[in-house]
Each structure stands twice: as C-alpha cells, then as structure tokens.
Chain A
Amino acid sequence: MTDAAALSRLREELKLSSEAVQPLATLDAEQLDALHVAVVAARKRQRELLETAITQALDHLPRLLRGPVLKILGHRR
C-alpha cells in the first residue's frame, strides 16, 4: 500500500477531512497502517464491550421488562 492510500484509509476510518489528516502525511505507509489497525481494533473492542454489557443487563432484567427494553434498544437482539 502506498503512503497516500494508507493515509486515505485512515482518513475514512476516522471520518476526517483531507486537510485534517494532512499533518499525518509525514508518517510512512507502515506507520499509518499500524495506526489504522490500532483504531479498528479499539473500535471493535468497544463494540464487543458494549454488546457484552447489553447482554448482561438484559439477563438481569425480569422477563416482563425485556420486551420493552429491547424495543428501546431498537430490537437489536
């Protein structure tokens, strides 16, 4: 991957403008790739922690309440 392609991929991941990531252009493709991997992994970890927290919370709720709570959660399960 070229430096420019690696920068573009990171920009898309962070939803930043081209100008905002321009100072990162001093990093090479390998460094930008490492940063991208770290950001994606952290985001995935956040998502998993959130899913676990929701599952545990639902397990603690009385069955009668689970339906309304699921509705509030947007029927995500």
Chain B
Amino acid sequence: MSSLETTAEIVKLANALGVERHALNYLSTLPAQEIRRLREATVAQFYAQDRGMFQRLAAASRLLPNALVAKLAEHVFGAMLAARVSGEMPAERAVDIAGRLSVSFLADIARELDPKAARHIIRAMPADVVIPVAREMLARGDFITMGRFVDELALRVLEATLQALTDDEALLHIGFYLESKTRLSAVVNLLPDGRLNNMMQAAQKRPQELWPEALALMAHVDDAAKRRLGDLAAEQNTDVLATLAQVAHAQSLWSDVLPVVARMSESSQAKLMALPILHDSELLAGILHTAEADDLWAYLLPQLRFMSPDQLQRVADATAGLPQRAQEQLIAAARRAGLWEPLLTIVAEIPKAGRKGLERIVTQFAAADGTLVDELAEPAQKHGLVDLLAMARSAVDKAGRQPS
C-alpha cells in the first residue's frame, strides 16, 4: 500500500469537506482507494442536490446569446452557480462562454466544477483559455483543482500548458494530487530531463515537505517512467540521494521507493546501494520491515547483488530473525521471481544454527513441488548450501514415496 497515495487522498477529502487534513488523520490506516471512494460519494451528494434546477437553468440559457450569458454568469450568478449550470451545458457552448469570461472568474469556476459533469467541457477547453487560468490557479496555490484538470485536459493542451508553466516546484504539488496514474506517466513523458532534474533540485531545498511529493511522482508512474525518474535521481549528487533515503526512512516511504529502485538501471541501483546511509543498521532494518509488512521482497531481493559484504551480513541477520510467515513470503517471492541466487546469498551468510526455520520452509515447498530442487541446485552449490539442497531432495523423495 502506498502511504503517499493515502496522504494525497486524505488531503483531497479534507479539501472537499472543508476541514483541516489533520482532522482526518484517523483515516490513514485505510487504503487510498477507500478514501477516494468516500470523497467521490461525498462530492456526488453535493452535486446531486438541485441538479434538475441547474439543468433547467442551462436549458433556459439557450434562449440568450452567449455574450449575455457570460455577462450574467460573471456579474449576477457568480462562480458557484455558473459552475453548476455550465456542467449541464454542451461542451462547445460552455467553451465559447468560457472564452468571454475573465481569467479570475474562470479560476473561481474551475474550483466549483463538478469533476464528473464537467469532464466533457475540460476535455474540449483550448490552450488559449486553459493557460492563463492555470497561471491564475498556480498563483492561488490551488493545486488540487489543477490536478483534477490535468487528469482531463486534451493531451496537446496539457503539453502547451506544461510548457507555459515554468514553476517546476509547482509541478510536484500538482502531480501529487493527480488521480490518473496513466496521466501522471504522460506528464512525465512530456517533460524534458532538465525540468525533471529541476523538480528534484526543488525537492532538495525543502526535503521533508517536497521529497515525499517527488517520491509519489516516481512511485505512481508506469515502469518506463519509473526507470527514467529513478535514473535521473541517481544522477544527482550523493547528498541528494542521501536526503532521499533519509526522508524515505523518516517518513516510512520505503514501500513507495523500493518499486522505483527495482526499475532503475543496474548502475543506478549500485550507486544507491553504495551510499553510506544504506549501511546504517536502523535504515536497513526499516527497509526489511517494509518488505516484510507489504510483501515487497521481489523488489528488494535484486538489490542484494549490489550490497557490500557488510550490508549483506546485516540483511542476513535481520532475515534470520524474521517471523515464519515473513520468511515464507520471502521464499515464495524468490521462487515466483526466479530470485534464488540473491536469496541464497544471504542464507549463506546466516550461521547454520540460525537457518533452521528457512531450511524447514524450503523443504516444505520442495515437498509440495519437486521442480524447486532443479531451481535451487545451481545457486545452492555456488553458495556452499549443499545441506539445504540435500534436505530439499530428501523432502521430494519422501513426498514421492507417500501414497497420494
């Protein structure tokens, strides 16, 4: 579960309910999608009120020329009513009227729009209307509304808007509130490396506040964008990477970071693992705890290739002390992902007496599926774990002799 996604959803729900985000801290144990469902149901209730009335107003406004409707909207009806009525209009007419309204009033309307009812209008908005309104919303710090717009804008309009908005720190804020992961990847694809680097440099200036947003961006994009962002992060100087690791540790964000690290190029992964901070016992324990709690072993195991003997020993010690359930998950993950080699690297570091639990689980798995022995053979011999291999073979033989 991504804790950053949950945080973003709590902020959005607090915004919808008009309460401080801290007032909803008790929701932080819920999955992000559940908080999102709550918000969508709440907002749907708001907009369901009087919908018929707004449909009648939208229909009646057809009798008036668009220029007069625009004047009435801005000078008589105000942003809230205008937003509700425009959501009931055909996109073409709403876009024409929008072109006649002041930028400030459009930014007011944008905040009040029913995200579902207005989807067709946002998709039809041209860049020459969107860009000045985006600048106004940026000046107001209305990043949640901007995130909602980025979700829906036509891609060419989004591209033009991204080029026009030069505040790279703001992009971190907007990205944090985007709903669509697909759209977030599209945004990253539209940005050149220089701007993505600027975003990381901006995060470095206020790390506790902005690195979580940068990490959210990395964590929620598709695999190709994860790799690009992860490699760009690895190209930053080691201070930047160390800060990233510190923030991830201090704010328990390893569940967001590990999948990104796993997509990085091998040289980037090696650079990250070589950081002095990643030799810290407490930090390594935090990573292992996350892998255990969220079953992220498949992301962590490949990193073992880049760890020093000292790091491997610490991981091995922690692995020996894992509860049985976590050890089962670790072995199952190694099996699923074909990661016996890194797993056995750490098993070999564990003193014989400390391996008994892991050996028992491997033999149980082998008894259930004899093909495990073939997978295990080469890495077990390489790491001198011939006893483990013999136990697995014996378990397979024993299982084969038992009547089915």
Please report A residues at the B interface, Cβ cutoff 8 Å.
13-16, 20, 23-24, 26-27, 31, 34-35, 38-39, 41-43, 45-47, 49-50, 53-54, 56-57, 60-61, 68, 72-74, 76
Segment of B77-85, B148-156, B355-363 in the binding face: B77-85
B37 and A20: CB pair below 8 A?
yes
B45 and A74: CB pair below 8 A?
no
**Top 7 A-B residue pairs of the complex, sorted by shortest distance between their CB atoms:** A14-B41, A42-B17, A60-B76, A23-B34, A53-B80, A31-B26, A57-B77
19 contacts between A and B (CB under 8 A): A14-B38, A14-B45, A16-B37, A16-B41, A20-B37, A23-B30, A23-B34, A24-B34, A26-B29, A27-B26, A34-B26, A35-B27, A38-B17, A42-B46, A43-B46, A50-B49, A72-B53, A72-B56, A73-B57
Q: Is B52 an interface residue (CB 8 A)?
A: yes
Measured in the bound complex, the distance between the Cα atoms of B42 and A25 in whole Å is: 18
Count of B interface residues, CB-CB < 8 Å: 32
Taking the closest CB of chain B, its distance from the CB of A22, in whole angstroms, is: 9
Measured in the bound complex, the distance between the Cα atoms of B42 and A31 in whole Å is: 17
**Residues of A contacting B45 in the complex (Cβ-Cβ under 8 angstroms):** 13-15, 39, 43
For the residues of B in contact with A, the DSSP-based class is: helix
A39 and B37: CB pair below 8 A?
no
Q: Is B31 an interface residue (CB 8 A)?
A: yes
A46 and B49: CB pair below 8 A?
yes
Please report B residues at the A interface, Cβ cutoff 8 Å.
16-19, 23-24, 26-27, 29-31, 34, 37-38, 41-42, 45-46, 49-50, 52-53, 56-57, 60, 75-78, 80-81, 84
For the residues of A in contact with B, the DSSP-based class is: helix
B42 and A14: CB pair below 8 A?
yes
**Residues of B contacting A72 in the complex (Cβ-Cβ under 8 angstroms):** 53, 56-57, 60
Measured in the bound complex, the distance between the Cα atoms of B80 and A34 in whole Å is: 27
A47 and B52: CB pair below 8 A?
no
**Residues of A contacting B46 in the complex (Cβ-Cβ under 8 angstroms):** 42-43, 46
Nearest A residue to B23 via CB reads A38
Interface centre among B29, B52, B81 (most CB of A within 10 A): B81
**Residues of A contacting B78 in the complex (Cβ-Cβ under 8 angstroms):** 53, 56-57
